[in-house]
Amino acid sequence: MKTNNLTISADIYGCPNRCKHCWLGHMPNRKMPDGSDEMIVNYFKPHFHSITFYSWVREPDYCENYVERWQRDIQISVNAKPQRFELASFWRLVRDKNYVRFLKSVGVNKVQLTFFGTEEITDWYIGRKGAYQELLRATEILIKNKIAPRWQVFISTKNATDIIKLLSKSKELNLSERCKDFGEKFSFFIHSGSCDGENRKLYPFRINREDILAELIPYYNNFSETKTEAELCEFLAKDSTCFAYHNENEITLNIANSFDVYFNFTHMRPEWKIGNILTDKSSELVRRIINEDIPALRVAKNTPVSKLVKQFGDPQSHKIFDCVDDYKAYLLNEMIRSQF
């Protein structure tokens, strides 16, 4: 009997960037063999009522035939249709004049662009020279085609003061007024991000809450709801519940270009691996998915939050966390890292 609705994101083509904030973690770039998309869908088709297929995990549309690729994603999805959301490839926007027309044709009205400050720091975070200038050019291309850019900015001790310059740059470019001209809103928002994947390596540079400059607080996403690590340690010290990710009727999977399968919960590390499409029978792999039977989740289901705090929390730290679950996820992954 088929149950549940499945969304699949497969790393068919890879990504041009090596962002230091990437919550998935860095993976090698290699194109998956032709026909992999249909093979993956057919592998899961007997077990799920609907399947929504996306041909990217990281950079969307990172292929030359992106129009046909999008049509293909729609075609091979089962009883479902993929959505565009606010995601697009800034790498492709500045290299292919037809790409923005494609975005318009599929109903994209807003596109999120990720900055880390001005040129030097943004290029360092994204992992390649020229990324910052490409983001500025992508912003201009979007506005000229009546698509509103959303500037997402990750903050740390490395870039806090530089973000002031980036904010000034957005005002210098008059982005808010220019977006108003076609009935959309320009967004500039700041947050600290999660603390898994590559971003875990930046934990030492996570900014203290009190060190966030007053000029930036109005742009910080839900700043009043953020907490310091010390506050979270005190709040969670006696929490006897367990923090375990869980799916209901909607399940999302990430498929690496090695055909390893992961839940869309956190980074794609070995301890979170569900199985491999090439080596595991679909019935057994789907059993693990439905029962959430993987090593990392077994640890999660048997470790109280209070124990995570005691072993891995720092009650003296004022590092900022945007929500309680982000901090729980950080602690859980620290526990898992210690055991695998």
Write the pLDDT tens digit of every residue in 273-286: 999 999 999 999 99
Q: What percentage of residues in the chain have a pLDDT greater than 70?
A: 99
What percent of the chain is modeled with pLDDT above 90? 95
Return the pLDDT at 64. 93
Is the pLDDT at 119 greater than 90? The verdict is yes
| Position 80 confidence tier, pLDDT thresholds 50, 70, 90 | very high
47-64, pLDDT tens digit by residue?
999 999 999 999 999 999
- Which residues on adjacent β-strands are paired with residue 6? 51, 251
pLDDT for the residue 340: 84
Q: Looking at residue 133, what is its pLDDT?
A: 98
DSSP-H helix ranges across 77-181: 90-93, 99-105, 119-126, 131-144, 160-172, 175-180
In this structure, which CATH number among 3.20.20.70, 2.40.50.140, 3.40.30.10, 3.40.50.300 belongs to the domain 3-226+248-291?
A: 3.20.20.70
- What's the pLDDT score for residue 337? 92
Token pair for 106: 């599929």
Question: What tens digit of pLDDT does each residue of 289-308 get?
Answer: 999 999 999 999 999 999 99
* Whether the Cβ atoms of residue 16 and residue 127 lie closer than 8 Å to each other: no
In whole angstroms, give the CA distance from residue 120 to residue 196: 24
Mean pLDDT of the chain: 96
- For residues 69 and 90, give the distance between their C-alpha atoms in angstroms, rounded to a whole number: 17
Query: Do 49 and 79 touch, CB atoms closer than 8 A?
Result: yes
What tokens does 340 get?
């695998």
pLDDT tens per residue across span 173-216:
999 999 999 999 999 999 999 999 999 999 999 999 999 999 99
Rounded to a whole number, what is the distance in angstroms from the first to the last CA of the chain?
35
- Amino acid 1: pLDDT: 53
